[in-house]
Amino acid sequence: VRREDCCQHLDSRQDLFELTHSAGQSPFGAEFRRFSLERSKPGKFEEFYGLLQHVHKIPNVDVLVGYADIHGDLLPINNDDNYHKAVSTANPLLRIFIQKKEEADYSAFGTDTLIKKKNVLTNVLRPDNHRKKPHIVISLPQDFRPVSSIIDVDILPETHRRVRLYKYGTEKPLGFYIRDGASVRVTPHGLEKVPGIFISRLVPGGLAQSTGLLAVNDEVLEVNGIEVSGKSLDQVTDMMIANSRNLIITVRPANQRNNVVRNSRTSGSSGQSTDTSLPSCAPPPEPSLEPGEDDSDDDEDIVIEDSGEPRQIPRAAPSAESLQSLTQVELSFESGQNGFIPANEVSLPPVASGAGTEFETRAPDQKLLEEDGTVITL
């Protein structure tokens, strides 16, 4: 087993010094640590995170961890996968950047970050520099702007469509009407008419119309995983309104010509018969978001204490909460990476070889850090 030394990269330190001097600003805290890791057995991210906190003697400070990948991009480390990826890219040194979470500058992550090294460091080290140009923040779940989409294509029969209408901040109304109607179904007794709920009208300029995911005469089958069959129009209306912040509707589109034809399922139905649903066709499985679990973040009530400061009501159950947030973090990072890495591979020159592991703790809050005794004033 080869123990690999991670060493501090001298060049970058010099850069750092230069930057500081040229800016001529008041000194701020930055700190460097160097330590070694076993490349073949990197362990878990949580252990690594603990190690970082230990090395920097900041046991209770939440930090964001990033590393410089071979393209020179500053990428986050926040789960086992990207941690392992980061360790595997060490060549042999790995530069790691640490920021306090509450002061973190998320825009530092992503493409073109470490290539323009000065900018990055400026950004990382001097947060006020970039305040003027707000970046679209990526990489953290709360920063994603969910958009309306067709979901669960893989688990639904192809005659059905599950649509998630996401009303995010916009003042656009959801903008559709539903009505009672009759739909024809194939049953063991032949064709039968059963009552159903249909979309009757789209409000021009509304969310439903602008996304193009719903159309007039689509039959509504489910609302947020609950089947509407047997429910009255008013009940379905109330269900939709109660779920309006995160509305997931499963419909059988009136127009079946745009269906995705998948080879695996082509035997099920022709895709052209509009108003039939084969009884053999298994009912659509419960959506991945189980009711009651998906709604943690869309539904937080606001409490105003007597001080007058509004705050979101936190969730009380700590264990469930942390688990949930972890999974969400994971998901979001995956998508973030997927979105960014391939696009940049071509254009970006590889980062200078021999990059070391670098730990930076940005700590404008001196007092706190002085108390911790970890501050080096430069």
Partner 1 sequence: MQEFPRGWGRRRAFPTDHPAGTGAWRGRYSGPLGQGADPQREKLKQELFAFHKTVEHGFPNQPSALAFDPELRIMAIGTRSGAVKIYGAPGVEFTGLHRDAATVTQMHFLPGQGRVLTLLDDDSLHLWEIVHHDGCAHLEEAIHFQAPSRPGFDGASGLPSLAHITVVLLVAAGDMAALGTEGGSIFFLDVPTLTLLEGQTLGPDEVLRSVPDDYRCGKALGPVESLQGHLRDPTKILIGYSRGLLVIWNQAARCAERIFLGNQQLESVCWERSGHTVVSSHSDGSYAIWAADTGDSPTAQPTVATTPYGPFPCKAINKVLWRSCASGEHFVIFSGGMPRASYGDRHCVSVLQAETLVTLDFTSRVIDFFTVHSTRPEDEFDEPQALAVLLEEELVVLDLQTPGWPAVPAPYLAPLHSSAITCSAHVANVPAKLWARIVSAGEQQSPQPASGASSWPITGGRNLAQEPSQRGLLLTGHEDGTVRFWDASGVALRPLYKLCTAGLFQTDCEHADSLAQAAEDDWPPFRKVGCFDPYSDDPRLGVQKVALCKYTAQMVVAGTAGQVLVLELSDTPAEQTVGVASLDLLQDREGFTWKGHERLSPRLGPLPWPAGFQPRALVQCLPPAAVTAVTLHAEWGLVAFGTSHGFGLFDYLRRSPVLARCTLHPSDSLAMEGPLSRVKSLKKSLRQSFRRIRKSRASGKKRTVAGSKLQEANAQLAEQAGPQDVEVTPVQRRIEPRSADDSLSGVVRCLYFADTFLRDAAHHGPTMWAGTNSGSVFAYALEVPAAVAGGEKRPERAVEAVLGKEVQLMHRAPVVAIAVLDGRGRPLPEPYEASRDLAQAPDMQGGHAVLIASEEQFKVFTLPKVSAKTKFKLTAHEGCRVRKVALATFASVACEDYTETCLACLTNLGDVHVFSVPGLRPQVHYACIRKEDISGIASCVFTRHGQGFYLISPSEFERFSLSARNITEPLCSLDVRWPRGATHISHRSRESPKLSQANGTPGIILAPQSCDGSPDPICKEADTPEPPEAMLSPMSIDSATSADTTLDTTGDMTVEDVKDFLGSSEESEKNLRNLSEEEARACAILIK
Radius of gyration of the CA atoms of the chain, in A: 27
> 279-298: which residues touch partner 1 (CB under 8 A)?
286, 290-292, 295, 298
DSSP state of 110: B
Residues 348, 350: Cα–Cα separation, whole Å: 6
Selected binder of partner 1 within 5, 11, 47, 300 (CB under 8 A): 300
Side-chain half-sphere exposure of 269, counting CA atoms within 13 A:
24
Q: 13-23: b or e for each residue (b if 16 or more CB lie within 10 Å)?
A: eeebeebbeee
Q: 293-331: b or e for each residue (b if 16 or more CB lie within 10 Å)?
A: ebeeeeeeeeeeeeeeeeeeeeeeeeeeeeeeeeebbbe
With a CB cutoff of 8 Å and minimum separation 6, the contacts of 329 are 78, 79, 140, 141
Q: Is 188 in the site for partner 1 (CB under 8 A)?
A: no
Q: 182-195: b or e for each residue (b if 16 or more CB lie within 10 Å)?
A: ebebbeeeeeeeee
> 77-136: which residues touch partner 1 (CB under 8 A)?
none
Q: In the bound complex, what is the minimum distance in angstroms from residue 261's beta carbon to partner 1?
A: 21
Are the CB atoms for 311 and 302 separated by under 8 Å? yes
DSSP state of 127: G
Q: In the bound complex, what is the minimum distance in angstroms from residue 57's beta carbon to partner 1?
A: 31
Q: In the bound complex, what is the minimum distance in angstroms from residue 127's beta carbon to partner 1?
A: 31
Q: In the bound complex, what is the minimum distance in angstroms from residue 179's beta carbon to partner 1?
A: 4
Q: Is 227 in the site for partner 1 (CB under 8 A)?
A: no
Selected binder of partner 1 within 136, 261, 302, 346 (CB under 8 A): 302
Distance of CA 167 to the CA centre of its chain: 17
Q: Is 167 in the site for partner 1 (CB under 8 A)?
A: yes
Q: In the bound complex, what is the minimum distance in angstroms from residue 120's beta carbon to partner 1?
A: 38
For 191, phi then psi, to 5°, come to -75, 135
Q: In the bound complex, what is the minimum distance in angstroms from residue 216's beta carbon to partner 1?
A: 5
Q: Is 178 in the site for partner 1 (CB under 8 A)?
A: yes
Q: Is 224 in the site for partner 1 (CB under 8 A)?
A: yes
Nearest to 20 by CA among 360, 369, 352, 365: 360
Q: In the bound complex, what is the minimum distance in angstroms from residue 190's beta carbon to partner 1?
A: 16
The window from 12-20, 59-67, 144-152, 303-311 that contacts partner 1 (CB under 8 A) reads: 303-311
The window from 11-19, 29-37, 140-148, 172-180 that contacts partner 1 (CB under 8 A) reads: 172-180
Q: Is 306 in the site for partner 1 (CB under 8 A)?
A: yes
The window from 67-75, 216-224, 258-266, 360-368 that contacts partner 1 (CB under 8 A) reads: 216-224
Selected binder of partner 1 within 45, 83, 198, 359 (CB under 8 A): 198
> 36-65: which residues touch partner 1 (CB under 8 A)?
none
Q: In the bound complex, what is the minimum distance in angstroms from residue 27's beta carbon to partner 1?
A: 39
Q: Strand (E) positions, 12-160?
A: 63-68, 74-77, 96-100, 149-151
Binding footprint of partner 1, residue count (CB under 8 A): 65
**Taking phi first (over 0 means left), then psi (-120 to 50 degrees means alpha), and beta for anything else, what does residue 139 get?**
left
Selected binder of partner 1 within 3, 41, 136, 234 (CB under 8 A): 234
Using CB under 8 A as the criterion, which residues of the chain lie in contact with partner 1 when the complex forms? Answer: 167, 173-184, 193, 198, 200-205, 215-217, 223-224, 226, 231-245, 254-255, 274-275, 286, 290-292, 295, 298-306, 313-317
